Amino acid sequence: MEARRGAETDAPPHAELQPAQVRACLENLLSSPAFSGSPRRAQLLRYLVERTLAGDGERINEYAIGLDVFGKPASFDPRLESIVRTELARLRQKLRDYYVQDGLNDAVQIDIPPRSYVPGFRLREPAATLAATPRPPSVLPRRQWWIVSAAILALAVIALTIWLLRSTPAHPLNSVAVLPFVNLSPDHRGDYLADGITEELTNNLAQSGKLRVVARTSAWLFKGKAADIREIGRRLNVENAVEGSIESEGDQIRITAQMNRTSDGYHVWSRSYKASAGDTAAIEDEIAQSIIAVMRGGERKAVRPPILDSTKNPEAHDLYLRAYELALHHPDSYRQSVALFQQALRADPAYVNAYIGLARVHISLLHVTQETPQQAIPPTRAALEKALQLDPSCGEARGMLADLIATYDWNWPLAESQFRQALAEGAQSTTHSFYGLLLATRGRFREAQAQFRVAEDLDPLGFGPRFNQFFAFYLERNYSEAKRVLQALREMNPDRWDVPFMRGIVAVTEQDCAAANNELEWCARKFPAPVTKIGLALAAACNGQRGQARSYLAEASTPDKAAYTSPYQLALGYAALGDEETALAQLQKSADAKEMQILYLKCDPGLDALRSDPRFIALEKRVGLLD
């Protein structure tokens, strides 16, 4: 039976093999279908083999592979990013598959031992050689016929096993993205169901603890686009993608879901469900558990027993999905969303997800300035505390509460302990991103960038983590990296005004006044608002046009009632003019208003001229930036 796999000889280790033999077998291996269709896997194997043949095996490590093969920057931290470990696991399995199929007759076997990056090379006796060994013609005795029959049966079992391995994960998989479900209903009634199911399924999978689940913000970029599954896998760096559809007819709904392997589009799992519209929460849970069981290699257990953030109340679940869809797509309907979340909580006062949704919308209202911190923070805090009372292990709610404690309570020790607990409980990319930005405001830049790398891994195409990373580089005065991140954001989001606005601010800081003019004037035309007026003032001050700068600041200070002028941004404008008194007065107003930007105080390059003033130092202490 061993002959089919190619029997190993008692050959010496690879040091006694000729490199030419190894390279010849490597080229044959890399031309096989399993490797020719995956350039990165082929590059990884070639790199490991060549380094080992060159005698550099002891210097192969996870960090070197990340830089040399996967193009990671020098800041790459293998403890936080698992790409090398993941790709090595895939490579080991592909090599095992290859030598029982296409590589059956290869003279040299290449393998990579577990927990090692150094490949081993062994001589093999090919199966074809064994099959060609001459035997004297004779009639086999009855006992030998039984042996031959048993061998044939064993080969059939092996063949069946290989087929099953090709169609089922041979080892636990660890990455998945949930693509937006498609509404196939004849009207738009199913839109909120499709969006809500996508969101809740993403959350349920993320709660499993051991899966890398791509954030909704990245997966959502493929909504309505006929992208190839392999391209989606490459851009999101995931092994599997879940997609599906919903179709409603009256009170009945059909949900179809499938999981595809992104390397080749193979259908790993699929199922269709038909039930009443009120049963969607149970279906979401069933889909999540089925997917996790497949990805764990058949091990089936509850995602998070019990599923505390869900509800068994059909009315509450439907209200939640409608509220979520409004908050997702229609900023002008935030208040309607608040009302729907509150109705859902009246229907089920123990619905954790509805409390989290309510907190999200209040924070969104604060960011679009329809609410002040005094209006938005109390209901946000109450909703998050209630969610944690119901489910103390809810990392998402704890991460949001940690951000609130740091940003509005200025209690950094408590906030940091809450952040760390949230991350230990499985909080996702947003928590890593917020924690990273707040670390940067305190000058802890190395730790901040480590958090951003994790956030980017979980949200590869998301805007928020990268924009926060830009601010961290800017506060660190690492302007080259800050501009690199902005350029990447501009390519991903060419229509946004805030990216060129920050490019203009960096240009002002570097005294590149011509570039500042170009960027900030374009922003003022694209998005006329107080903030872009302040941008024009900074550009004018950079060019020595002090009178024009003051005029722009005056215009920004007296906007229409619907607009909002940030005292912190005004302070930056007056600091650029050398008007320290007005700048300090505006910073006091910013602190009084609980603006999030006041936490940039410690490191913001635009405020360097004020740092020696005792009033500035006292303000740093007030907002908790100095011990």
**pLDDT (tens digit per residue) in 497-549:** 999 999 999 999 999 999 999 999 999 999 888 999 999 999 999 999 999 99
Backbone CA torsion sign across 185, 189, 195, 197: negative
Choice between 261 and 13, residue whose per-residue pLDDT is larger:
261
Q: What is the pLDDT of residues 320-343, one digit of tens each?
A: 888 877 776 666 788 888 999 999
Rounded-to-integer distance, Cα 107 and Cα 123, Å: 6
Interatomic CA distance for residues 595 and 570, integer angstroms: 13
CATH code for the structural domain at 175-304:
3.40.50.10610
What is the predicted pLDDT for the residue at 137?
44
**At residue 624, does pLDDT exceed 70?**
yes
- CATH 1.25.40.10 residue ranges of the chain are 308-427
Q: Kindly report the number of other CB atoms within 10 A of residue 66's CB atom.
A: 20
Residue 65 contacts residue 116 (beta carbons within 8 Å):
no
- Helix %, strand %, coil % for the chain, to 5? 65, 10, 30
Q: Rounded to an integer, what distance in angstroms lies between the CA atom of residue 519 and that of residue 525?
A: 10
Q: 299 pLDDT exceeds 60?
A: no
The listed range with the strongest mean pLDDT (50-64, 249-263, 316-330, 467-481) is 467-481
383 token code pair: 């909703």
- CATH 3.40.50.10610, the chain: domain bounds: 175-304
Please list the residues that pair with 242 across neighbouring strands.
178, 259
Q: What is the pLDDT of residue 328?
A: 66
Note the pLDDT tens digit of each residue in 337-378. Answer: 899 999 999 999 999 989 999 999 988 887 765 567 888 899
> Tell me, what's the pLDDT at 208?
67
- Tokens 């010849």 correspond to 24
Flag whether pLDDT at 26 surpasses 80.
Answer: yes
Q: Is the pLDDT of residue 449 over 50?
A: yes
Structure letter (DSSP) for residue 224: T
Q: Is the pLDDT of residue 131 over 70?
A: no
Res. 30: pLDDT tops 90: no
**Nearest to residue 259, comparing CAs of 358, 179, 164?**
179
Mean pLDDT of 547-552: 96
Q: pLDDT at position 148, please?
A: 43
Element (H, E) at 314: helix 314-329
CA gap 352, 389 in Å, rounded: 9
Query: Looking at residue 100, what is its pLDDT?
Result: 73
Correct CATH for 308-427 of 1.10.260.30, 1.25.40.10, 3.90.700.10, 3.20.20.140:
1.25.40.10
pLDDT in tens, 394-431: 889 999 999 999 999 999 999 999 999 999 888 889 99
